[in-house]
Chains A and B, each alone.
Chain A
Amino acid sequence: MSELTSVIRPETSERTQTVRVSRIAWKVVMYTLLVVLSLSFLFPLLWMLSTSVKDTAQTYHVPPIWIPWPMRFQNYPEAMVAQPFGLFFLNTLKYALFSAVGAVLSSSLVAYGFSRIRWKGRDVLFFLCLCTMMIPFQVRMIPLYLVFRDLHWLNGYNPLIVPTFLGSAYYIFLLRQFFMSIPHELSEAARIDGAGEAMIFWRVILPLAKPALAVVALFQMIDAWNDFLGPLIYLNQPDMYPVSLGLQRFQGQFVEKLAWPYLMAASTVVILPVVIVFFFAQRTFIEGIAVSGIKG
């Protein structure tokens, strides 16, 4: 498919003519396909946006209205106060930021130990680390719940944040891949200058690994923002809820007349921060995923 275009040779034969025509035909097909498919991927989100500014009559109109007029922007503030969404956002922000700090700090330390220092048993332990990724959360879920109950950590963010400070196999794997690509001469030079291992980690490796650290921070923040099962198990008082549980609770109460527009407005607000972060950090995201997929 893609290679069709590389057949641009400065020839004037009939064959080149045919190739050019079929090339243009392919371009037309390709862009048509892309536009149709893009629209079909976007339409659930566009429909969400459209519903979020509708009034009751517009919401239940058949055939459906895509662009409601007048738009009812009050849905947003009204939805936000129907549940304490401000609180939910603060809770989620706390979870996202602290867990990202935890993931970056711990996983980079551990990845350093698994890649830049040679010691006995290292590769066996790293293999074990990879193996833990195979264990479904469901296996650990019940004992973890009971442990956190006995620690009186339930209904707080400790069960969700503290484990991130103890490394996560996936991030350790990602960072180890990156650390291994940093030339050893850099460490050697620092060592000759008298730097210890901690200094090399902090002053040489971490600054070079900034792009990879950004990937880990981003992935963890998005993960925390989306997390549902963890909060569902560990949190039981609504004032501790993150946005994910808050949105679900909102759906559960479903009594207002403008229920769907409110729900879509609230969904839009919950999605927005993630989408904004994604737009600003697209490259980091895409490269992080691509690396994990290829090297995995």
Chain B
Amino acid sequence: MSLGATPTVAPRGFRLSNAARNQILGLLFVSPWLIGLLAFTAYPIVASVYYSFTVYNVIQPPRFVGLQNYANMIAQDPTIPIVLYNTIYMVVLGLPAAIVVSFLLAALLNNPMVARPVFRTIFFLPAIVPVVAVSMVWLWLYNPNYGLINASLAAMGAQVIPWLSSPSLAKLSLILIGVWSQGTTIVIFLAALQDVPRELYDAARVDGANGIHRFFHITIPMCTPSVLFVLITGMIGWFQYFTIPYIMTQGGPMQSTNVYSYYLYQNAFTFFKMGYASAMAWILFLIIVTFSFLAFRSSGRWVYYAGG
């Protein structure tokens, strides 16, 4: 902004320089966020660090125990390796599955077609269904005897599938729900696909590249920035995965869907181990930062920025 060109405004008695005036105005405009930052982010962060060094059951005042919570997490608690394994399983399997399926669906939708908005709406719809309703619908679908899938299988005389009752299958059953409700990712990929310049395809065709070549050497590279975005936001989302296991499986059977955020919630609000849960939250933060950092670090090798 070149305010120097407009010396017209001459307020009352005193005059602030434009720079000083803008400084005050700028801070005024962002002040709601500043207050929120201090009250609902900065203070909780500091308090959370403190609580993570204490034993705190909400009724008695917090008692300082140093690094004991962290030591317990690493050396004592047998549930921690289980929830870490389950959570990383979801991230490593669920996230790529969701990304690949969404990308293929977006690529399919990117073809010239009639009624594209209709198909796009159908694929997107599950993403806006409230997660509690999603859980209810899938609980019923996965019902061992009368759910749609098993009842159909039984009617055909086939073996029924123990969707949520088998420890080896439960995680995959939850991942399937995750893939089903990835509409947001489809929309992001579709927007990225529509941004790929047509000239690139024309040039490749002149050079004799077929459809599959063009898909792997133009379409995919041109969409990698969106893939990075989805990868990082998706990772953060899966690491905080909570509601569906809370409602559908309560972490079972045999802890097979006990994920990190669910166990953290239990520690905080079921067992009232607020100090321990705070320590768990910080470890979660470190894990998320590490994974995001790795994704960014590796991105130089596989993300292609057309703008340079």
Contact = CB atoms under 8 A, between A and B. Distances in A.
B1 A118 contact: yes
Contact of B125 (A45, A139, A226, A270): A45
Nearest to B143: A260
A139 B119 CA distance: 39
Contacts of A30: 108, 111, 113
A191 B9 contact: yes
Interface residues of B, number: 114
Interface residues of A, number: 103
Contact of A267 (B125, B136, B243, B268): B136
A125 interface: yes
B255 interface: no
- Chain B contact residues, majority secondary structure: helix
A42 B187 contact: no
B100 to A, nearest CB: 14
Interface string B171-194: 000000000100010011111100
B140 A139 contact: no
A26 B147 CA distance: 36
B141 A44 contact: yes
Contacts of B132: 226, 228, 243-245, 247-248, 270
Interface string B137-167: 1111101011010011011100000000000
Contact of B281 (A136, A201, A264): A136
Nearest to A34: B119
B74 interface: no
Contacts of A182: none
Contacts of A285: 124
15 contacts: A4-B211, A30-B108, A37-B123, A38-B119, A42-B122, A42-B125, A45-B125, A51-B140, A128-B37, A136-B281, A247-B136, A282-B117, A291-B191, A293-B188, A294-B192
Interface of A: 1-6, 30-31, 33-34, 37-38, 41-45, 47-48, 51, 59-64, 106, 109-110, 112-114, 116-120, 122, 125, 128-129, 132, 134-147, 163, 165-167, 172, 184, 187-188, 191-192, 194, 197, 201, 222, 225-226, 228-229, 232-233, 243-245, 247-248, 251, 260, 263-264, 266-267, 270-271, 274-275, 278-279, 282, 285-286, 289-294, 296
